[in-house]
Amino acid sequence: MPYLFTSESVSEGHPDKIADQISDALLDNFLAFDPESKVACETLVTTGQVVLAGEVKSNTYLDVQNIARDVINKIGYTKGEYQFSGDSCGVISLIHEQSQDINRGVDRGSKEEQGAGDQGMMFGYASKETENFMPLALDISHKILQVLAELRREGTRINYLRPDAKAQVTIEYSDDNVPQRIDTIVVSTQHDEFNGDDTAMLAKIKEDIINVLIPEVEKHFPTDIQKLFNDNITYHINPTGKFVIGGPHGDTGLTGRKIIVDTYGGKGAHGGGAFSGKDPSKVDRSAAYAARHVAKNLVAAGVSDEMLVQVSYAIGVVEPTSIFVDTYGTSNVDLSDGEIAEKASKLFDMRPFAIEERLKLRNPIYLETAAYGHMGKQPQTLTKVFESPYNGKIEKEVELFTWEKLDMVEVVKTTFGI
């Protein structure tokens, strides 16, 4: 019997995502001026206020207030009527030094013997459902909000958009797990005050979302995905009605509250640890990236059509305590999932320092991960510029989304005899 599956995404202007982006901007600045920084930064945003907290061990000093304001302004919170603006909000810093009890288990005489920064389990997932090996419902949800943000900044075709927004997509699947059609699309977008009655306002927003936004979204997908967009989609556009009050004025935001949006939209599994604001010694982040790298390369190589990879750690211990693979019955090789996991563990060194080195994680690469998902984006190299009243100006060429590289496919094929 056909079934439905749903994923959601939130915009860069959503309160929780503002918090994530501020935390990752702070992390990037610490790593830019001191790559050995140990950082765990949390952010809270609410009406007219930003609170920064967490633990840091670093040889550099930052103007954290200015970094936070810059992020907020770039997102688009620049007007007084939003009740939250980068130029006028208060920024309180409660950041303090990292506990030596934690640091003792991480830093060792040899970097190769670096222990995990925490205990826990992390998951990576990949599926042949899309070209970027991501779940389709989440991929479309992300793209809806990315295009919506582009239209907001363009300000011509839709000229009333504000930064806060959410999207949700429901896909109908066949019995053999093949996407058949898009069943439902939900979009809630913050907007300016309209002159006139609410009925006309809502009608205009719905018309623009369906006739302007969605056709632009379709263009970003290959033909087989475009066919899933049809005239029978159920749309819920701003279903609660008026959405003028939004952002941190409408809802308090916290770092790390959108972990399913950040990963696989409810597909696969999640170990519960958030990413943003954490340096790569925290395996919550680095091992989740490494597990995605493993799953994506194995699926791309043809080991299976779908795969979940779990890796677990004990704080201060170098080697992972377990590596687990689930192919959901889609394996294309004559091996059990346990045997696949054993072979994968020999191909991919999952020790914390090895992950940092392989994926080049001790670089300022994290702000770009903090909205529209940490997984599924295109790897790229760019030059980032950082300025500080205490450290001067620095330019760094960095590689973004290294865990999305298909750089182990041929090795995997050889190892698995594909």
Residue 219 is labelled as binding a ligand: no
* Residue 77: closest CA among 277, 237, 246: 246
Q: State the Cα–Cα distance between residues 321 and 274, nearest whole angstrom.
A: 20
Based on C-alpha coordinates, what's the Rg of the chain?
22
Q: How many CA atoms lie within 13 A of 11 on its CB side?
A: 28
Q: Who's near 50: CB < 8 A, 6+ residues apart?
A: 22, 43, 44, 68, 72, 89, 90, 91, 92
Residue 416 is labelled as binding a ligand: no
In terms of Cβ atoms closer than 10 Å to its own Cβ (0-12, 13-18, 19+), residue 133 is buried
Q: State the Cα–Cα distance between residues 334 and 82, nearest whole angstrom.
A: 58
Residue 42 is labelled as binding a ligand: yes
Bridge pairing between strands 380-388 and 392-400 = antiparallel
Residue 267 is labelled as binding a ligand: no
Residue 360 is labelled as binding a ligand: no
Residue 14 is labelled as binding a ligand: yes
Residue 139 is labelled as binding a ligand: no
Residue 270 is labelled as binding a ligand: no
Residue 40 is labelled as binding a ligand: no
Residue 57 is labelled as binding a ligand: no
Which pair of tokens denotes residue 309? 């990879």
Residue 17 is labelled as binding a ligand: no
Q: How many CA atoms lie within 13 A of 176 on its CB side?
A: 2
Strands (E), 68-158: 90-97, 120-127
Residue 162 is labelled as binding a ligand: no
DSSP letter for each residue of 388-413: ETTTEEEEEEEEE-GGG---SHHHHH
Residue 242 is labelled as binding a ligand: yes
In terms of Cβ atoms closer than 10 Å to its own Cβ (0-12, 13-18, 19+), residue 219 is exposed
Bridge pairing between strands 234-237 and 179-191 = parallel
Residue type, 123: F
Residue 404 is labelled as binding a ligand: no
Annotated binding site for ATP: 14, 164-166, 242-243, 251, 257-258, 274, 278
Annotated binding site for L-methionine: 55, 98, 251, 282
Annotated binding site: 14, 16, 42, 55, 98, 164-166, 242-243, 251, 257-258, 274, 278, 282
Annotated binding site for K(+): 42
Annotated binding site for Mg(2+): 16
